[in-house]
Amino acid sequence: MKKSKTEKVSNTSPKYNIVFISPEVAPFSKFGGLADVSWALPRALKRLGHNVKIIMPKFGSIDDEKFGIKAYKQNLKVPTADKDIVCNVKIGYIPDGLEVYLIENMEYYEMRANVYGYKDDARRFALLSKGALELIRSQKWQVDIIHSNDWMTGYVSNYLKTEYKLDPILNKAASVFTIHNLALQGVNRRTLTQTQIDQGTSPLPDLLDDDIFFVNGMLRGIVYSDFVNTVSERYAKEILTPEYGEGMDKILQEMRNKLVGIRNGVDYDVLNPRVDKNIYVNYDLGDIEKKKENKIAFQKEFDLVIDPAIPLVGFVGRLSEQKGLGLLHDTIRPLLANLNFQFVIVGGGDEYWEKFFAKLIKDFPGKVNGYLMISTTFAQKLYAACDILVHPSKFEPCGITHAIAMRYGTVPIVRETGGLADSVIDYGKDRKNGDGFMFKEFNEMAFLIQLVSALTTFKSNKREWKKIQSRSMRKDLSWNASAVKYIDLYEKAIDRHVKWLKKEGLVMADSPVEVPGYSSIDILS
């Protein structure tokens, strides 16, 4: 029986040279979950034997001394129609010795403390995209895969297939583009006229041309990349529908043969109650009773009534409508007034929600408290202390907080959408295997039913609750399995890219192809 191309590639066990481009990378800069993915996935890939480099901007908030960041290259020239934009490049490291290259520019990065939120964000991130490619060229890195992420680096694949298609270094690299949140596209399509809406087919404007502000970075990444993935299997299917497609469902349907879903993972080397240095008392499945000690210490630190018998419910994440906070708006006050439980929150975001929760904290002393800013330390303390975590998103490409909570024995309540549905088994439907509580319809009653069900189970059936906790902690939501799926995705991207090279006349049609990461494999046969 003839082996498939995939089997042929798998048997050679190629080791790839991968460049991962992202606007934020923990611990250097962190606004959301993308920063965590941008350090955890490269680490997992390196552990599988691949060579990975990361490229990001050098924002003004990044402390060189704190992170041991050093100079790497001076005067990296990024060409425009009128003049070169000159950048410097620095280098830092994250665990496992992973190299992170930080592109430094006074005007666009050093003078900006924040990652996002500026009127010229499109130009700033187009500069990151083109600057990353110029860095690869200048250093003559041999790259097999260039992996870009979300609209901020969607320009990368566009540049590769147009301006740099004849470059002997860059045109050998296959491109992969990950959609972390389709709703964020770099432009607001609803505010544009029909003639202003980017169709993805016109040439990219020059970096210094104001037309760059009308480019849809998300669309460009989808159209020009060799392969595209979302951060969960379910989300890859959801975005093909008008409900979740954010105006792109038709183009995604046309390109569904290069679209897959791969669930984000959790880095258990760091986010693990057995080794976590941020929590009060370390524990694991074998001594889960120590979780109670974390709860008592947390109640004390956050001025809550100290009583481990009272259910402690938490929320961690960005404060926004997408996260389903509207379901708490009219329900949380009557619930707190009539049921004996405590509610804690760690997160920051929209001003409206920050004020809403600040008022809630003030009105329910001893029952409600929190830290209304993004904080890894307080978030991990919350995971270790809470009994229940609510994650009731309107939509959720993947979601990571519920997965971390599960490893800490905190039972999640999630909506049946995206990566939440991919990673939680509803206890209400499957008492034998359930490891969380799930509701389908996005309405207050559906959410309330599951919250009350979880609270009731916690209070009235300790034995059953411990089983749910144990199943949550045992579930493998690590990066290990997901990283292997990315390697398979890279193989498919290389296959598609070589065919594109052949179509463009950049590879002789009848000759074996020296594919990056391979040794004289005729992948076109």
pLDDT mean over 326-333: 92
What's the pLDDT tens digit per position in 143-157? 999 999 999 999 999
Alpha helices in 162-240 (DSSP H): 217-224, 233-238
Range of the domain at 81: 18-265+480-493
Tell me whether residue 8 is in a domain.
no
Q: How many CB atoms lie within 10 A of CB 195?
A: 6
What's the pLDDT tens digit per position in 210-253? 999 999 999 999 999 999 999 999 999 999 999 999 999 999 99
Pair (178, 223) in one structural domain: yes
Q: Could you tell me what percent of the chain has a pLDDT over 70?
A: 93
Q: How far apart are the C-alpha atoms of 91 and 107, rounded to whole Å?
A: 20
Residue 507 has pLDDT above 80, yes or no: no
Phi, psi (degrees; rounded to nearest 5) at 499:
-65, -35
**Beta strand residue intervals within 307-391, DSSP E:** 312-316, 342-346, 368-371, 388-391
Tell me whether residue 277 is in a domain.
no
Residue 439 has pLDDT above 70, yes or no: yes
Residue 519 has pLDDT above 50, yes or no: no
Q: For position 148, what pLDDT does the model report?
A: 98
Tell me whether residue 260 is in a domain.
yes
**85-94 and 174-179 as β-strands: parallel, antiparallel, unpaired?**
unpaired
Cα–Cα nearest to 376, from 401, 350, 355, 393:
401
Phi, psi (degrees; rounded to nearest 5) at 509:
-60, -35
Q: How far apart are the C-alpha atoms of 16 and 45, rounded to whole Å?
A: 9
Q: Which amino acid is at 444?
A: E
Tell me whether residue 227 is in a domain.
yes
Pair (107, 232) in one structural domain: yes
C-alpha distance from residue 123 to each of 128, 199, 258 (Å):
9, 19, 28
Pair (250, 296) in one structural domain: no
Tell me whether residue 261 is in a domain.
yes
Pair (194, 58) in one structural domain: yes
What's the pLDDT tens digit per position in 107-159? 999 988 788 889 999 999 999 999 999 999 999 999 999 999 999 999 999 99
Please list the residues that pair with 90 across neighbouring strands. 71, 102
What's 462-485 look like in SS3?
Answer: HHHHHHHHHHHHHCCCEHHHHHHH
Pair (440, 382) in one structural domain: yes
Lowest mean pLDDT among 27-36, 143-152, 304-313, 350-359: 27-36
Q: How far apart are the C-alpha atoms of 52 and 42, rounded to whole Å?
A: 6
Pair (44, 151) in one structural domain: yes
What's 274-315 look like in SS3?
Answer: CCCCCCCCCCCHHHHHHHHHHHHHHHHHCCCCCCCCCCEEEE
DSSP 68-85: T-EEEEEEEEE--SS-PE
Q: Which amino acid is at 357?
A: F
CATH of the domain at 169: 3.40.50.2000
pLDDT mean over 20-36: 90
Tell me whether residue 391 is in a domain.
yes
Q: For position 318, what pLDDT does the model report?
A: 87
Task: Quote the DSSP letter at residue 35.
Answer: H
Is cis: bond before 27, omega within 30 of 0? Answer: yes
Pair (356, 442) in one structural domain: yes
Q: For position 188, what pLDDT does the model report?
A: 73
CA 247 to chain centre: 21
Angle at CA of residue 174, ends 252 and 184, nearest 5°: 40
Pair (242, 314) in one structural domain: no
Pair (171, 49) in one structural domain: yes
Pair (231, 297) in one structural domain: no
Q: For position 514, what pLDDT does the model report?
A: 47
With tokens 């002789």, the residue in question is 508
The structure tokens listed for 56 are 């990001």
Q: For position 13, what pLDDT does the model report?
A: 63
Residue 328 has pLDDT above 80, yes or no: yes
What's the pLDDT tens digit per position in 49-103? 999 999 999 999 999 999 999 999 999 999 999 899 999 999 999 888 899 999 9
- Kindly calculate the radius of gyration of the chain based on its CA atoms and give it in whole angstroms: 24
C-alpha distance from residue 495 to each of 83, 330, 499 (Å):
37, 52, 6
Q: How many CB atoms lie within 10 A of CB 292?
A: 15
Q: For position 42, what pLDDT does the model report?
A: 96
Please list the residues that pair with 288 across neighbouring strands. none
pLDDT mean over 173-189: 91
Tell me whether residue 99 is in a domain.
yes
Cα–Cα nearest to 128, from 143, 116, 141:
116
Cα–Cα nearest to 56, from 119, 118, 16, 108:
108
Pair (460, 488) in one structural domain: no
Order of all β-strands in the sheet with 145-149: 70-78, 85-94, 98-104, 51-57, 17-21, 145-149, 174-179, 227-230, 259-261
Residue 523 has pLDDT above 70, yes or no: no
pLDDT mean over 12-17: 79
Q: 430 Cβ partners below 8 Å, 6+ apart?
A: none
Pair (353, 293) in one structural domain: yes
**98-104 and 85-94 as β-strands: parallel, antiparallel, unpaired?**
antiparallel
**Mean of the per-residue pLDDT values of the chain:** 90
Q: Are 379 and 346 in contact (CB under 8 A)?
A: yes
Total domains in the chain come to: 2
Residue 400 has pLDDT above 80, yes or no: yes
Residue 515 has pLDDT above 70, yes or no: no
Tell me whether residue 271 is in a domain.
no
